[in-house]
Amino acid sequence: MAERLAFAGALAREAGATALEFSRDLGALDVRSKGVQDMVTEADDTVERLVRDAVINRYPDDAFLGEESCDSFRPDASLGTWVVDPIDGTQPFLCGLRTWCVSIAWFHDGRVRLGVIYDPTHDELFSALLDGGATLNDQPMSTASVTRLDEGLVGMGHSNRVSTDDTLAPMRRLLDANGMFHRCGSGALSLAHVAAGRLIGYYEPHMNAWDAIAGDLIVREAGGRTNEPVRQATHLLTGAPMIAAAPGVWIALNEVIDG
C-alpha cells in the first residue's frame, strides 16, 4: 500500500503540473457545459487521460472511475478501483482562482485505502493511507483543536442535484450558532483544509465519490471525523451528503446540519 500511495502522489503532482500549464492560457481552452454551473474543459479531459493511462499501465487489473468518464464505469466489488477527479473546482480554475486541485483515491473491499489531493497552485500534497496517518508535503498534519463552531470557519458546498434549501437551511443555522461559512468552489480541497486544521468542518448536501473520498480518508487519518459516505462499490456512482469535522465540533456541526 505504501508503494501505491507513493505512485498516487507522484501521479497527482504530474497531473497537477499539466493542469497548471493549461491554466496559464485560459482563453485558449475548449470549454463545454455539462449543466448549470458544471463545466468541463480540454484540461479536465487531458489530465484524466494522463492519470488513467498511468494507472492502466501500472495496475492493469484495477478498475478506473474518473469524473469525465464515469458513464462507462460498472462497479465491481472484487476489483480495487482508482477514483479520480482530474480538476476539482473547474469553475474556479476557469475564473483564474487558486482553489482547485487533483484528487486521486484507491477504493477496495468497502474502504478507501489511500487518498491524495494535490493543490498545484500552492504546491501542497495532502495524502493519507488507511490506518497510516495523514501528511501535508510529507509532514504529519492534524485537524483543528476546537470545541465550538465560533472558533473557526466551516466550509460549505452546494450541488444542483439538491434543493437550495438543503444548503441554505444548515447555513442559516450555522450563522445563528455564531459560526461562519466558507466556500472555495472545490469540495476536495476544502476537505484537505479540514484535515490540515485550516477549516474546522465541511458540509455538502450531495457530493460525488470522485470529489469526496480522497478527502474523506485524509480527514479521518488526520484525526477528524466524517460520515464516510462510500462504504461499498455501488456507492461510487450514487453520491451522498459529505460531512467532516474536527472531533471537538463533530456533534455541533451535525446538529446544525440536521436542524
Residue-wise pLDDT tens digits, 37-61 = 556 788 899 999 999 999 999 999 9
Task: Give pLDDT, residue 217.
Answer: 98
CATH architecture observed for domain 149-258: 3-Layer(aba) Sandwich (3.40)
Task: Give pLDDT, residue 198.
Answer: 98
How confident is the model over 4-18, as a mean pLDDT? Answer: 97
pLDDT band with cut points at 50, 70 and 90 for residue 35: low
The 3-state DSSP class for residue 143 equals coil
How confident is the model over 226-236, as a mean pLDDT? Answer: 87
Question: What phi and psi, each to the nearest 5 degrees, are found at residue 221?
Answer: -75, -15
Task: Give pLDDT, residue 131.
Answer: 97
Domain 2-140 and domain 149-258, same fold? Reply is no
Task: Kindly report, residue by residue over 140-169, the tens digit of the pLDDT.
Answer: 999 999 999 999 999 999 988 899 999 999
Nearest to 100 by CA among 229, 186, 19, 164: 186
Q: What region does 185 belong to: left with phi over 0, alpha with psi -120 to 50, or beta?
A: left
The answer to whether residue 32 scores a pLDDT higher than 90 is no
Domain layout of the chain by residue ranges: 2-140, 149-258
CATH architecture observed for domain 2-140: 2-Layer Sandwich (3.30)
Helix axes 250-258, 164-176, angle to 10 degrees: 130
Q: Above pLDDT 70, what percent of the chain? A: 95
Q: Give the three cell numbers for residue 222.
A: 488526520
